[in-house]
Structure 1
Amino acid sequence: MRGLKLDNLDFDADFNIDDFSDELDIEFETRYIKPPKAKEIAEINLKYSKAEDLARDITKLRDHRYFVIINGTFVFGDFIEAFLVGNNIHVKRMTISTLSLSENNVDSLANLLNGGYVDELNMIVSDFFYSHERNNLIPYLYERLDKNNRFQLAAASTHCKICIFETHCGNHVVIHGSANLRSSSNIEQIVIEENKVLYDFNNEYQNHIIDKFRTINKSIRGKELWHQVQVENLEGAEEPVKARRRRQKKELLN
């Protein structure tokens, strides 16, 4: 067998470390980008049927990735609440993209907002779901979640199932997979990972969707407040001079 001749190897190959970036430096409109340097993340493979059990068993978050197979009884929405409450995690901002959800999911998210576990919640649902539930679940969703200007709902042509959130302790969590918030009676998969690069990527395009397809005009409250101030000013203002003179003259004639 002939040995490998080192003089046949090209050690001057055109390799440039500048072709790779330390950060995901992209613009939303850019088609071709530099691939970011891969970061080693500890990966753990799991199988679960109950959301509470999975939430309890995730003991490490920073720089970890969990690949989970779940059965049809697993409720993804229940996992989010159980994970935050069980681990006393407080979130600055959470964005959920889902094809559909249930009334129980709405109640679960309301618990997180009312309990102080989530400061701001944004949700993107499919326009198909929004159209079919506009007279049923959508009004209930507004009633339960639209409190103190901390919630936004967008409806768009999306089939994504992603939940991202930034915690007050500096973690950037991305949960993605095939599962909607509610149970589906099917085997599904989800990935849970703490990954700021992936978080920033998803956060950027989701913000574009929310800005364009939002259903809550949050500025209306400011307009209503100013209108009320104007009304109060008019009601409390002194009577104009000409009007007062006409009134006084009329009183004298009577």
Structure 2
Amino acid sequence: MQDQQPTRLLGPAEVRGLAEELGMRPTKKLGQNFVHDPNTVRRIVSTAGVGADDVVVEVGPGLGSLTLGLLEVAGAVTAVEVDSVLARRLPRTVAEYAPTRSERLRVLETDALRVRAEAFSERPPTALVANLPYNVAVPVVLHLLAELPTLRHGLVMVQSEVADRMAAGPGSRTYGVPSAKTAWFADVRREGPVPRSVFWPMPNVDSGLVSFARTEPPAAVDREKVFAVVDTAFAQRRKTLRAALSGWAGSAARAEELLLEAGVAPSARGEQLSIDDFVRIAEAAYR
């Protein structure tokens, strides 16, 4: 039976104290903006819908604000941290603030973009919950969804514009490569904004929450072949698909032929297509 006592979370004084102890200055390169508001942490955990049956993978735990909140409800947490100083300090922070839950934590000192499924063989994760560095948010989410098929749901905090792109549907001005590729793996929803004031240091951009629920792949065709069509279609957004896909197909005439076979108008543009449309184009090309 899990410990039901609430965990003491990190506030502004604790976050700054830990940073001072470690002699660290948050770096823009690693996207280090630490959450210091317990109410925001509890909101993230609650919105993520994490429960005792979940094994959570958290990318970029930093000083441990969100980690402590996740350990309060999750069966286990695997934290992936590239910064060696932070990775070594995290288990001690958890032992200090949530000693009865410290055995549920595992820390992987590595780059999330390089992590492989084998690293999670003992504890296959079921959920992804993270405050992601803005400059790598989409690549990290796509990599982990591809690499870890056991991930069923999750919630990530990203730059507001990135959240819009991830959750956008066809026809939206923010719909693009992140939208289409994420839709291959999951249903995605915008879950509201996060104020700048809950971070230290305060970022100069707004943040937002995005949730996802894994869905079955839309086709048996190879994912990378579909993603190649997506990348090509959006590489020249202003062009019609007939023109944009001409190099990929071999000629404009061949692109038109494939589009018609897929039931897509050659005069359409990439932002009008759903992931299912891209799948049909790839199927037409590789059958």
Give the TM-score of the pair, scaled to structure 2. Answer: 0.29
What's the TM-score, normalizing by structure 1?
0.32
Structure (1/2) with the larger strand percentage: 1
